[in-house]
Amino acid sequence: MPMPARRQAAEIPFGGTPSETLPVPPFPVETPCFVILEDAVLHNLRQTAKGAGGIERLMPHVKTHRAPWLIEAMVAEGVRAFKTATAAEVEIAAAAGAPYVVWAYPTVNAMAIARVVRVACAHPNVRIDALVDSVEGLRAWQTELSVASAPNLRLRLDLDPGLGRTGVAIGPGAYDLALAMQDAGLFGGWHAYDGHIQNPDRQVRIQLVSELADRLRGFLATARDRGLEGDLIAAGSYSFDLWPSELVRWVSPGSWTYSSSQHDVDLADVGWRIGGYVLATVLSVREGTATLDAGSKAISPDIPLTDRFRGPGPIRLMKEEHVVITTDRLKIGQQVPLIPRHGCTAAYLYNRALVRLRDGRWEYRAQLGASRSGYAPEERLG
């Protein structure tokens, strides 16, 4: 239900750079609440597309927002491809009109694979790619695809460019698995996520990406000689504007969507704005501190406690539902925006967000939040 803005949103001065302001909704809001500024997200999309060399090269990651309406908005802006981390995200991306969805998670879990195969069958016009980094993974896909035909589904070989999380080493051993995928009629290309390259110094990042690019260029040249044709997906928010387009067809940053208190500092040159934040209410004040209603269950719990957000003062203590901040500037009842250090794990904690639309209206919009089952119906087992 659209909500009328009864009066102009109060733009309050806020932490960080002196000129930075974030709007507090001009009507009563239950907190903690995740707030999204549509104009800032679209601004960030344009900046990211510019850095990537064109929107047709962008493959934004859905895990940051898990919001079907944002996928639709990005498709309307010209985005053609999306990356996802879970089966539920594959479902919402395909249903929201994404023409191409990559499930960037090389699982061997038969149930999750069967679920993504079902998405591919239900959306024959959506191209769906998934990752493999082991013979076991390939077998698991072959098993599921032997009972359900999905010609729109392909597998990419996940390469480990140094993050040390998933993916096979960039080297001769990778060709055998890729050739086995090709023999199965399923090989669709390559994927390499360089999430370990997060140095705040752009020159250092340029150097690291360029070394990696040389290795991958040699690797892919040999792959082509061996009959393996396929493009490469790489990059996150720290490197999407550094990879040469002749080598990397798709760049897949995600956390640019809302930016963060860390991007603000490390990646200030990209020109992103804060597009998502947590609104909290001051519950209690005492000599030099204020207690707000945004604890570990409300904002970026994967970040070390004292760095979880940038707010009106340093974080002194955080419990599940409370945070204590060092400040003497807040009043009981005041509502305060907190800028997450990690937007993805802040947005994830909310299954709806309060959105300030481009035209200035405010509206609550659904998002997947922490749901893994997605919007799926109840199911009886056994």
Binding site for ligand PLP (CB under 6 A): 61, 83, 104, 193, 195, 236-238, 252-255
The nearer residue to ligand PLP, 44 or 327, going by C-beta atoms, is 44
Question: Token match 């974080």: residue?
Answer: 315
The nearer residue to ligand PLP, 31 or 252, going by C-beta atoms, is 252
Closest distance of CB 263 from ligand PLP, Å: 9
Closest distance of CB 59 from ligand PLP, Å: 8
By beta carbon distance, the residue nearest ligand PLP is 236
Closest distance of CB 236 from ligand PLP, Å: 3
The nearer residue to ligand PLP, 23 or 162, going by C-beta atoms, is 162
Closest distance of CB 35 from ligand PLP, Å: 20
The nearer residue to ligand PLP, 248 or 330, going by C-beta atoms, is 248
The nearer residue to ligand PLP, 91 or 241, going by C-beta atoms, is 241
Closest distance of CB 105 from ligand PLP, Å: 8
The nearer residue to ligand PLP, 220 or 235, going by C-beta atoms, is 235
The nearer residue to ligand PLP, 86 or 237, going by C-beta atoms, is 237
Closest distance of CB 25 from ligand PLP, Å: 27
Write the secondary structure of the chain as one string of H (helix), E (strand) and C (coil).
Answer: CCECCCCCCEEEECCCCCCCEEEECCCCCCCCEEEEEHHHHHHHHHHHHHHHCCHHHECCEHHHCCCHHHHHHHHHHCCCEEEECCHHHHHHHHHCCCCEEEECCCCCCHHHHHHHHHHHHHCCCCEEEEEECCHHHHHHHHHHHHHCCCCCEEEEEEEECCCCCCCEECCHHHHHHHHHHHHCCCEEEEEECCCCCCCCCHHHHHHHHHHHHHHHHHHHHHHHHCCCCCCEEECCCCCCCCCCCCCCCEECCCCCCCCCCCHHHHCHHHCCCCCEEEEEEEEEEECCEEEECCCCCCCCCCCCHHHCEECCCCEEEECCCCEEEECCCCCCCCEEEEEECCHHHHHCCCCEEEEECCCCCEEEEECCCCCCCCCCCCCCCC
Residue pair 107/137 in contact by the 8 Å Cβ criterion: yes
Question: Token match 């070394």: residue?
Answer: 211
Closest distance of CB 235 from ligand PLP, Å: 7
Closest distance of CB 11 from ligand PLP, Å: 28
The nearer residue to ligand PLP, 60 or 312, going by C-beta atoms, is 60
